Amino acid sequence: MVGTTTSSDASRQALRACRLFADLDEVSLGLCAAALRPRRFRKGETIFHTGDPGDSLFLVSSGAVKITIPPDDGSEPAILTTIGPGGFFGELSLLDGAARSATAVALESTETQILRRDAFDTLVDSQAAIRHNLLVTLAGEIRRLTAQVEDLHFLDLPGRLARHLLRTIVIREGLDPATADELTGEHRLPWPYTQSELAGMIGGSRQSVNRLLADLVDEGLVRFEADDLVIPDAARLALAARR
Amino acid sequence: MVGTTTSSDASRQALRACRLFADLDEVSLGLCAAALRPRRFRKGETIFHTGDPGDSLFLVSSGAVKITIPPDDGSEPAILTTIGPGGFFGELSLLDGAARSATAVALESTETQILRRDAFDTLVDSQAAIRHNLLVTLAGEIRRLTAQVEDLHFLDLPGRLARHLLRTIVIREGLDPATADELTGEHRLPWPYTQSELAGMIGGSRQSVNRLLADLVDEGLVRFEADDLVIPDAARLALAARR
DNA sequence: CGTCGACTGTCAGCCAGCCGACGTTCTTGG
DNA sequence: CCAAGAACGTCGGCTGGCTGACAGTCGACG
């Protein structure tokens, strides 16, 4: 069965790239790979909604997904985070059996691998390495959210924008989030976001974000090149993020 | 050794009351109890600071603890959450080995049981029940923080105040946080907080909180009695919290 | 039992950032 | 290649909530 073999290879690829399955021996990796089912989403497609029941974890092989909270009126949704290749999402409902707490939407064409609850439970129970990685990742998630609450409390909009950009660098480059303030030098970020989305991420209006971005460009702190955002001097931007 | 026996009994008490150790058989419970060391904190005493290295988990036997983020200037700290009897805190540093991400301060005279990393690791590895409880609790923590970010995005100050009160009811009475909007009837909360602290919890200034509280009292939505806050009709308050 | 510190109550002034409005530019599909 | 929808750029007016200031209240402690 050529199809099956190909699918399994793709699954192995996805696993290797994902922090959750790091440090796993070949045999265990094969076991995990067998439990995965691939699923592709088109740009803008909704993967699940707030309030849905959920019993699957999604690994992102390629593309990107935004985790949002829809407003009940028609305004801009809040964007909690975005997940890129190697990341995963949807684990909460697996852990506590409750409904989805947020909505997941594909930012671009995205390839995912789905892991269902029974397989997930088996893996977590039998593989100490996966268990450890899971706990570390959840802790990281909590720290990220804590930092977000902190920003919303203490920083004004320009500050939140600057800090958000720094954090995005750190995430994209896989660095320690705690070092966001000590970044230096030039960085280049792929930038698939609209200004409305950016506004949703930092808790501001589209118009304000537009103005603040223009300010940053004027001051030479950031620059747009094709589909990338270039930050010539991260240290200088970090200064602008100070409380 | 009478002293040891007494201490161990207190430890068992603490464990029984804590969700993390629910559903544990007597023998395992004894093992856990043996790993605990009691520690008492006076009102206002700092338990640990942001940035400290940390390798212990604290179980609250009695009293209450606030988890705060200190501002770098002299203004009001943000208060992320408060932990009462049966709750625990300080688990993050245990999970990922990183520094404390927040400061913990005793709100009143507080009795805690300390569990150090080595004992914690052993327990989590050997007891599937504890492991499960830990994961569920972490998931709950993430949901709580997500809800907090959501509130800061979508609600104005009156809305955040009302919702905070509803959430406090839910936490104090040990209900499902998702049901906060559907509460009805009269509720009575112990109220050890100053207006400044309340302001820190909902992200507002002390003055604004004072004014909003007065409004709520005028409308008959809340009432202060001795050291308690009484909410005569939770459903009516929930209406005030609507976005 | 006076005084000192912490907390509550209240007010006026100010401004960051929201909102609505509208033109322009980009892009996508027919 | 054209039309229509989406995203960007910009403006002025309005206001929620912050800041600062000060007066009452209450409990603790010498």
Show Cβ contacts of residue A20 under 8 Å, excluding neighbours closer than 6 positions.
A59, A88, A130, A133, A134, A137
Long-range interactions of B174-181: CB distance < 8 A, separation 24+: B177/B140, B177/B143, B177/B144, B177/B147, B178/A98, B178/A99, B180/B238, B181/B238, B181/B241
Chain A residues 202-231 with CB within 8 Å of chain B? 203
Tell which residue, B91, B68, B96, B89, has the closest CA to residue B203.
B68
B194 touches strand C (CB under 7 A): yes
* pLDDT of amino acid B7: 52
Determine the number of helices (DSSP H) and then strands (DSSP E) in chain A: 9, 11
Tell me what pLDDT residue A243 has. 62
Burial of A42 (0-12, 13-18, 19+ CB in 10 A): exposed
Residues of chain A with confidence (pLDDT) below 70: 1-11, 14, 74, 243
Confidence of residue B11 (pLDDT cuts 50, 70, 90): low
Q: Does the CB of B195 fall within 7 Å of any strand C atom?
A: yes
pLDDT of residue A162: 96
Q: Which residues of B touch A78 (CB under 8 A)?
A: 149-150, 153-154
Write the CB contacts of A89 (distance below 8 Å, at least 6 apart in sequence). A57, A58, A60, A65, A67, A83, A104
What whole-number distance in Å separates Cα of residue A150 and Cα of residue A43? 32
Record: contact B138-A139, CB cut-off 8 A = yes
Gap from A195 CA to D20 C1', in Å?
Answer: 36
* Amino acid, res. B236: R
Segment B38-86, tens digit of pLDDT:
999 988 899 999 999 999 999 998 888 999 999 877 678 999 999 988 8
Q: CA of A103: how far to CAs of A201, B127, B169, in Å? A: 14, 34, 27
Does the CB of A146 fall within 7 Å of any strand C atom?
no
The alpha carbon of residue A207 is apart from the nearest alpha carbon of chain B, in Å, by 16
> For all residues of chain B together, what is the average pLDDT?
89
For residue B223, give the 3-state DSSP assignment. strand
Q: What is the mean pLDDT of residues B202-207?
A: 96
Select the highest-mean-pLDDT range: B8-17, B23-32, B47-56. B47-56
Nearest-Cα distance to chain B for A72, in Å, is 8
Residues in chain A: 243
Q: Does B175 touch chain A (CB under 8 A)?
A: no
Q: Do B135 and A134 touch (CB under 8 A)?
A: yes
Question: At residue A182, what is the residue type?
Answer: E
* Beta-carbon separation of A178 and B98 below 8 A: yes
**Which has the higher per-residue pLDDT, B65 or B10?**
B65
pLDDT at A175: 82
pLDDT at A3: 43
What residues have CB less than 8 Å from A167, skipping those under 6 apart? Answer: A147, A177, A180
pTM for the whole structure: 0.92
**Cα(A19)–Cα(A4) distance, rounded to whole angstroms?**
24
Q: What is the pLDDT of residue B157?
A: 97
**How far in angstroms lies nucleotide D29's C1' from the CA of residue A8?**
76
Predicted local distance difference test score (pLDDT) of residue B78: 94
Q: Is residue B128 less than 8 Å (CB to CB) from chain A? A: yes
Distance from CA of B238 to the nearest CA of A (A): 15
Instruction: Please state the rounded mean pLDDT for residues B112-141.
Output: 91
**pLDDT at site B243:** 63
Residues B104-118: what's their mean pLDDT? 91
How many angstroms is C1' of C13 away from CA of B130? 56
Amino acid type, A134:
L
Between CA A33 and CA A40, with CA A38 as vertex, the angle to 5 degrees is 155
